[in-house]
Structure 1
Amino acid sequence: MADRPSTRPRKAVAKPKTAARASAKPASAGEPATPVPPTPAPAPRPTRPQRRRISDAAHAASSERGLYAVPDPCDDEPMPQPAAMPGTSEIEAAIGGLVTILRTAGAAVGMSGDDLEQRIAQALAFVRRRLTGDYDIDDFGFDSDFTDQVWLPLLRPLYRRWFRVEVRGIENIPADGSALVVANHSGTLPIDGLMTQVAIHDEHPQHRHVRMLGADLVFSSPVVGQLSRRAGTTLAANADAERLLKSGELVAVWPEGFKGVGKPFSERYRLQRFGRGGFVSAAMRSGAPIIPCSIVGAEEIYPLIGNLKGLARLLGTPYFPVTPTFPFLGLAGLIPLPSKWIIEFGAPIETAGFGTAGAEDPMLVFELTDQVRETIQQSLYSLLMQRRSVFF
């Protein structure tokens, strides 16, 4: 159909009347009609499917679906790998970083090859045991795994390279069973006990651990006390000493205590009083032999030339040392002087024949205590005569 002229309006196409169209106002002449939107037809109502019982539907589905045979896996086909646990990449990165640090540290101290790789493997095994809890701690807090893998390796550079410790008479320490090592105490700081621990473990054929008896002040510090217990130190009490000796442990005691460690440099290598002889009575009750131990070289690491008693009382310590380097050089004054050390273990003094009755006799305990003290003192004089120099 041809288009009509634009001057004439178009006729509206007739549509079926609806409620909306019936209510619309008709257009006047000469005015275009307003289009009315058509009303959408209502959607047809869906028919409700015929209900079927669930059992019938399941039966029909199973009859239409056939059985499926799973083929056997081929030998050449790769097996699916389990999904990686979350955090695996971080753990592997941490282990890789630890290995790199250990190799760098080992190369810095001159280790290489199989020795270095063996040390790295031991370190990784130690970390694994710590994470899994596969280690033992005894009733006194001693952790042999920590001592072997952490504590002793930290002390060995001082023992071997700084103090260059020479050990004599290590054969006097029994291969097994209990024994009580009694040594002189000196050096302002108790480093002589640590070096004795390394000497017995590294030089003895059985690499025995020594259980050291320490003063109350050692365990009052939250850090030092915990490390000391892990490394084998126990409170210096007769009950604990007897218990360790009766269980077959190797025990070490420094009966001079703080009187020996804090004595002036002018009194070096002069033994102080050995207390009341409690260590002797403990050895008598347990029947353990007493092994005198003489240590030369510890007196010179921190020459004590003064004691600030007022500051010591304020800090709650037995003394506050003044040495040629401390406190004048600050923290650098805590570096010990590299003196030459000699540790000598004397012949054992048997106590098995005294028994419990001998431990209750004060005169017998005093005589045996004095015998041990005189043995150590004479050995110190002999070693000082043999030493060429303080530092060589």
Structure 2
Amino acid sequence: MPLPADAGEAQVIPLHRPGRERPPATVKPVEAPVVSLPGQTAPEDEPEPDADVVGKALAFLRGRLTGDYAVDEFGFDRELTDLLLLPPLRLLYQKWFRVSASGAEHLPSEGGALIVCNHSGTVPLDAVMTALAVHDEHPAHRHLRMLGADLVFRTPLIGALARKSGQTLACASDAERLLHSGELVGVWPEGFKGVGKPFSARYKLQRFGRGGFVTAALRAGVPIIPCSIVGAEETYPKIGDIKPLARLLGLPYFPVTPFFPLFGALGAIPLPTKWYIEFGEPIETGSYSAEDLDDPMLVFNLTDQVREAIQQALYRRLAQRESVFR
């Protein structure tokens, strides 16, 4: 159910102190002079609390306690995402990785689009940083509906937070439903092959699968936007893989980096590399007919076109980069 219209507005109640009535209008109140000692400045008025922020916080708490808040059919909780999930990620985005995003003008202000990104970094932080770039850098502040692997949703707590933040399973049916409803959808076709590749293979795109993301975009008639991410590869340089431990834990890999697991929890802190996220020019799909959707060569060619656009953008950005950390 939607929140009441006045849920986010705070009411200001005038303060009245008994025994201190205002002087009659005919009597001019006498103001005591303010005496400042040498080197002392006059006291300034204390800033008033932001009524809008306080009002939103109170409305949020009231909605959580009463159950009066809205989620969509995929479990996306827009209010919780904006107030609780994005702020800590924004610290990583702005202060730790110092992300520089470009090409946000290629993202549509309304309507569906499919954003296709390279995947890397051992831990998939690139996905959430891309979602934050879409939300913060575009004037419309749209949310990116990310398609994730089933492992994400099987993981306790992380799976629930993923659903709340708008993520859903990486399958064609969910992707098409989101695109048809006018959402921005993010996909990382390399999957675990990309995010878990060794450091020696950094910035070399892995196979993009069978092109299922292209088929979803064709059926929805939405543009495909290539997105290249530089900087994520060096956050956790993967130099080894403990396969028996990975099988025991049900993980696709158990990474060994220069600092993990040697230094324990401290080794799990990502390196503060400088990130660049670039949204490329859209590749239109609306001009194809219904008969074209069953053409495997069309899907193959579009998949290769998107992959090549991302790879060339990576090479261009790497040639311009001065250092991993700036």
Deviation for aligned residue 1:375: 0.3
Which residue number in structure 1 is paired with residue 294 of structure 2? 360
Which residue number in structure 1 is paired with residue 109 of structure 2? 175
Deviation for aligned residue 1:119: 3.8
Tell me which amino acid in the other structure corresponds to 1:244.
L
Which residue number in structure 1 is paired with residue 75 of structure 2? 141
Tell me which amino acid in the other structure corresponds to 1:301.
T
Tell me which amino acid in the other structure corresponds to 2:146.
M
Identity over the aligned pairs, expressed in percent?
Answer: 65
2:229 equivalent to 1:304: no
Tell me which amino acid in the other structure corresponds to 2:173.
A
Cα deviation per residue 1:266-290 (whole Å; 9 max; x = unaligned)?
1000000000000000000000100
Which residue number in structure 2 is paired with residue 261 of structure 1? 195
Matches within 5 A, 1:121-140: 121-140=55-74
Deviation for aligned residue 1:329: 0.8
Tell me which amino acid in the other structure corresponds to 1:200.
V
Cα deviation per residue 1:325-362 (whole Å; 9 max; x = unaligned)?
11011111111000000000000000011243222111
Tell me the distance in 1 between the aligned counterparts of 2:255 and 2:189: 21
Q: Which has the higher contact order (CA 8 A, sep 6+)?
A: 2
Tell me the distance in 1 between the aligned counterparts of 2:265 and 2:47: 36
Deviation for aligned residue 1:117: 6.0
Which residue number in structure 1 is paired with residue 214 of structure 2? 280
| Cα RMSD (Å) | 1.4
Tell me the distance in 2 between the aligned counterparts of 1:184 and 1:370: 13
Cα deviation per residue 1:138-191 (whole Å; 9 max; x = unaligned)?
111111011111111120100000000001000000000000000000000110
Tell me the distance in 2 between the aligned counterparts of 1:245 and 1:353: 16
Q: What SS does structure 1 have at the residue aligned with 2:308?
A: helix
Which residue number in structure 1 is paired with residue 126 of structure 2? 192
Q: Which of 260, 270, 275 is equivalent to 1:326? A: 260
Cα deviation per residue 1:343-391 (whole Å; 9 max; x = unaligned)?
0000000001124322211111001000000000000000111111101
Tell me the distance in 2 between the aligned counterparts of 1:155 and 1:368: 33
Contact kept in structure 2, 1:178 and 1:251, CA below 8 Å: yes
Unpaired stretches in structure 2, ≥5 consecutive residues? 1-45
Tell me the distance in 1 between the aligned counterparts of 2:210 and 2:157: 30
Higher helix residue share = 1
2:298 equivalent to 1:382: no
2:306 equivalent to 1:372: yes
2:174 equivalent to 1:219: no
Q: For the structure 1 residues 113 and 283, does the alpha-carbon distance in structure 2 shift closer, same or farther, using more than 3 Å as the test?
A: farther
Deviation for aligned residue 1:130: 1.1
Q: What SS does structure 2 have at the residue aligned with 1:232?
A: coil
Tell me the distance in 2 between the aligned counterparts of 1:288 and 1:222: 34
Q: Which has the larger radius of gyration?
A: 1
Contact kept in structure 2, 1:301 and 1:338, CA below 8 Å: yes
Tell me the distance in 2 between the aligned counterparts of 1:113 and 1:192: 38
**Most deviating of 269-278 and 115-124:** 115-124
Unpaired stretches in structure 1, ≥5 consecutive residues? 1-111
Tell me the distance in 1 between the aligned counterparts of 2:213 and 2:159: 22
Which residue number in structure 1 is paired with residue 34 of structure 2? none
Tell me the distance in 2 between the aligned counterparts of 1:208 and 1:185: 21
Deviation for aligned residue 1:120: 4.1
| TM, length-normalised to structure 1 | 0.70
Contact kept in structure 2, 1:291 and 1:346, CA below 8 Å: yes
Which residue number in structure 2 is paired with residue 108 of structure 1? none
Contact kept in structure 2, 1:147 and 1:231, CA below 8 Å: yes
Contact kept in structure 2, 1:285 and 1:355, CA below 8 Å: no
Matches within 5 A, 1:1-392: 113=47, 118-392=52-326
Cα deviation per residue 1:298-327 (whole Å; 9 max; x = unaligned)?
001000000011111111110000001110
Tell me the distance in 2 between the aligned counterparts of 1:210 and 1:232: 8
Tell me which amino acid in the other structure corresponds to 2:142.
R
